[in-house]
Amino acid sequence: MATEQETRPTEVTMEEIVALCKRRGFVFPSSEIYGGLGSTYDYGHYGVLLKNNVKAEWWRAMLQERDDIVALDSAILQHPRVWEASGHLEGFTDPLVQCLGKCKKRWREDHLREAVEAEGGDPDAELRCPQCGGELSEPRQFNLMFETHVGPVADEGSTVYLRPETAQGIFINFKNVLSFARKKPPFGIAQVGKSFRNEITPGNFIFRTREFEQMEMEYFVPPAEAQKWHQHWMAERERWYTELGIRPDHLRVRAHGEDELSHYSSATSDIEYLFPIGWSELEGIADRGDFDLTQHAKFSGEKLEYFDQQTKERYVPHVIEPAAGADRATLAFLVDSYEVEEVEGRQRTVLRLHPRLAPVKVAVLPLVSKDGLPEKAREIFQDLRRRLPTEFDEGGSIGKRYRRQDEIGTPWGITVDHQTMDDDTVTLRDRDSLEQVRVPIEGLGDELVGRLEAPWRTPKLD
Ligand code: ATP
| CA end-to-end distance (rounded Å), the chain | 33
Q: How confident is the model at residue 3 (pLDDT cuts 50, 70, 90)?
A: very low
Assess contact for 82 and 70: CB atoms under 8 A. no
Identify the helix (H) or strand (E) that includes residue 315. Answer: strand 313-315
Q: Is 4 helix (H, G, I), strand (E, B) or coil?
A: coil
Domain boundaries, the chain: 14-78+163-333, 360-461
Report the DSSP beta bridge partners of residue 158: none
For 360-461, CATH number?
3.40.50.800
**CB of 272 closer than 6 A to ligand 1?**
no
Strand ranges, E, within 157-227: 159-161, 187-196, 211-221
**Which residue's alpha carbon is at the smallest distance from atom 1 of ligand 1?**
1
Q: For ligand 1, is residue 288 a contact (CB within 6 Å)? A: no
**113, pLDDT greater than 70:** yes
Distance (Å, whole) CA 188 – CA 150:
31
CB 191 within 8 A of CB 74: yes
Chain CA centroid to CA 19, Å: 19
Residue to substitute in 212, 282, 331 for testing ligand 1 pocket (most ligand atoms within 8 angstroms of CB): 212
Which pLDDT score is estimated for 439? 97
Element (H, E) at 10: none
Phi, psi of 281 (to 5 degrees): -60, 135
pLDDT tens, 186-237?
Answer: 999 999 999 999 999 999 999 999 999 999 999 999 999 999 999 999 999 9
* C-alpha span between 348 and 342 (Å, rounded): 6
What residues pair up with 98 in beta bridges, in sequence order? 106
Displacement of CA 101 from its chain's centroid (Å): 37
Report pLDDT digits (tens) over 409-453: 999 999 999 999 999 999 999 999 999 999 999 999 999 999 999
Q: Whose CA is nearest to atom 6 of ligand 1?
A: 1
Q: Mean pLDDT of all residues in the chain?
A: 94
Classify the phi-psi angles of 138: left when phi > 0, otherwise alpha if psi is within -120 to 50, otherwise beta.
beta
Question: Residue 278: helix, strand or coil by DSSP?
Answer: strand
pLDDT greater than 50 at residue 396: yes
The pLDDT value recorded for residue 10 is 55
pLDDT band at 267 (very low <50, low <70, confident <90, very high): confident
Q: Are 17 and 331 in contact (CB under 8 A)?
A: yes
pTM: 0.94
Quick: pLDDT tens for 151-192. Answer: 988 887 899 999 999 999 999 999 999 999 889 999 999 999
How far apart are alpha carbons 189 and 200 in whole angstroms? 31
**pLDDT number for residue 125:** 86
* Range in 5-19, 33-47, 67-81, 177-191 the model is least confident about: 5-19
Residue 153 DSSP code: S
The letter for the amino acid at 307 is F
Topology classification of domain 14-78+163-333: BirA Bifunctional Protein; domain 2 (3.30.930)
Output the CA 174–ligand 1 centroid distance in Å: 23
Please tell me the residue having the least CA distance from ligand 1 atom 11.
284
